[in-house]
Chains A and B, each alone.
Chain A
Amino acid sequence: MKADLLLAVRVLMLGAAVLALLLERRQRSHRPVAVFLGSQAAIMLARWALRVHVVGPAVAAGGNLDAGIAGAPLTGWALAAGISYNAGSLAWPAGLAALSLWIYADMPLDTTIIAPKQELVAAWKTHRRNGSRRILWVLLCALAWAGAVAFVALTYPAGRPLYPKLFAGAEVAALVVGLGSAGAWVMRACGREGLGVARACTLFMLGCGVVSLAGPYVYGIFSAWWLANAVQLVMYSGLILAQGGAVLWLYRSR
């Protein structure tokens, strides 16, 4: 059942990514979400290939990638593949934090605004000013991700007992950053701007992240990750519904 659940999550993730890319073609404000979901789907496929062809056989032969699994440490190409596999895992929280900062930092340019011209000009100037700052935030997220990957690479195998705390810390940090940026947007622009599909999808992913904290992060990341798959099943289904509805709406109205 767990394998079926994982397969369903992978298929739904690909579907959500394809719909995000389709929606991005008609709604530019959805581009950050499309980039995020598209890159995460590509990472998922790469991790799947690594799992099947390199990490899985090495673990089956007695190797040990993560804490909680008995066996000898991986070496050589298997170790490189294992570190890449974990780097892919850490890409989700880093990407989610970057997406939240990007999407809630300032309004997209094509957001419908009912405002006098002066306010539009001021909004445009704010957008230009925040544009470079948003890139800085994303670079900081990339730096944090690189630091976490470096920690995994440099401390293996002695640091394996710390991996659950590292992954949980990364997830919690991403959620704090994401919900904080969403809260800042609510304080700044709620009521003046609508939520929109992109912000709603990001908020939904953040909320599902909070829910999943009660699953694998309580019962064991490496032993009960399938609980996170259960949440992801709902999350990707919701993303498909929301984005699919928006795609149908936009493609029908043009």
Chain B
Amino acid sequence: MAVSIALILMVGALGVGVLVVLTVIALDVRRGVGIGAEASRALRILVAETLGKRWARAEDVGALVGDVDGLGHAGRLTSQQRRAQVRPPSDDITPLSPIDPGVLRRLREEHPTDPLAYHGPMPALGEDEDDEPTWKRRSGTWEKAK
């Protein structure tokens, strides 16, 4: 009996710990900074890679598309993302694992009407690997380089 009570109390304390961790994550996600927000973003990108872009937020799609050359370049955002003033990944953020361009192509084919999907020119496999990014950031907006 006493051991059962002790176990119940320990489970209760564990539940309190889980609640605190969830609160930390929720507050970080709400503010958009902190370890909780980073973990949430990484999880969303992982889900988007696995299940498709419709599961990703705009900034995550930006991260997906932005790192398409594997160098962390983020010059290929959709117009909707630019209008929403979504902050693209910058050089001070460690780029996530490179996305296979084939995966992105398949996502675009699967979701042709998804406004979050990438609709720009897509490099073929093995091409454009050494090219400079064609989009430059100019006065807060992204413009195609001349």
Contact = CB atoms under 8 A, between A and B. Distances in A.
A227 B5 contact: yes
B31 A191 contact: yes
A195 B10 contact: no
Interface residues of A, number: 29
Contact of A207 (B19, B27, B31, B33): B19
B23 A112 contact: no
B13 A234 contact: yes
Contact of B35 (A193, A238, A249): A249
Contact of A200 (B7, B12, B20): B20
Contacts of B13: 207-208, 211-212, 231, 234-235, 238
B27 A231 contact: no
Consensus secondary structure, chain B interface? helix
B96 interface: no
Interface in B1-45: 2, 5-10, 12-14, 16-17, 19-21, 23-24, 27-28, 30-31, 33-36
Contacts of B9: 211-212, 214-215, 227, 230-231
Contact of A190 (B8, B19, B27, B33): B27
A194 interface: yes
Interface string A194-211: 110000100110011011
The interface size bin for chain B is 20 to 34
A226 interface: yes
A204 B24 CA distance: 11
Chain A interface, DSSP helix/strand/loop, else mixed: helix
A203 B2 CA distance: 27
Nearest to B13: A234
Contact of A230 (B6, B16, B17, B34): B6
Contacts of A114: 31, 33
Nearest to A199: B24
Nearest to B35: A249
A19 interface: no
B17 A227 contact: no
A37 interface: no
B2 A227 contact: yes
B10 A194 contact: no
B17 A112 contact: no
A233 interface: yes
A194 B33 contact: yes
A195 B20 CA distance: 9
A222 interface: no
A190 B30 CA distance: 10
Nearest to B36: A194
B30 A210 contact: no
A204 B17 contact: yes
Nearest to B12: A211
Ranked nearest first, the 8 interchain pairs of A and B with the lowest CB-CB distance are A207-B16, A234-B13, A230-B6, A211-B12, A238-B17, A195-B24, A204-B20, A231-B13
20 contacts: A112-B34, A191-B30, A194-B24, A195-B20, A195-B23, A200-B20, A200-B21, A200-B23, A200-B24, A204-B16, A207-B16, A211-B12, A214-B9, A224-B2, A227-B5, A227-B9, A230-B6, A231-B12, A233-B10, A234-B13
Given A194-B34, A214-B12, A231-B13, 13 more contacts: A190-B27, A194-B31, A195-B27, A200-B23, A200-B24, A207-B13, A207-B19, A208-B13, A227-B2, A227-B6, A230-B7, A230-B9, A231-B10
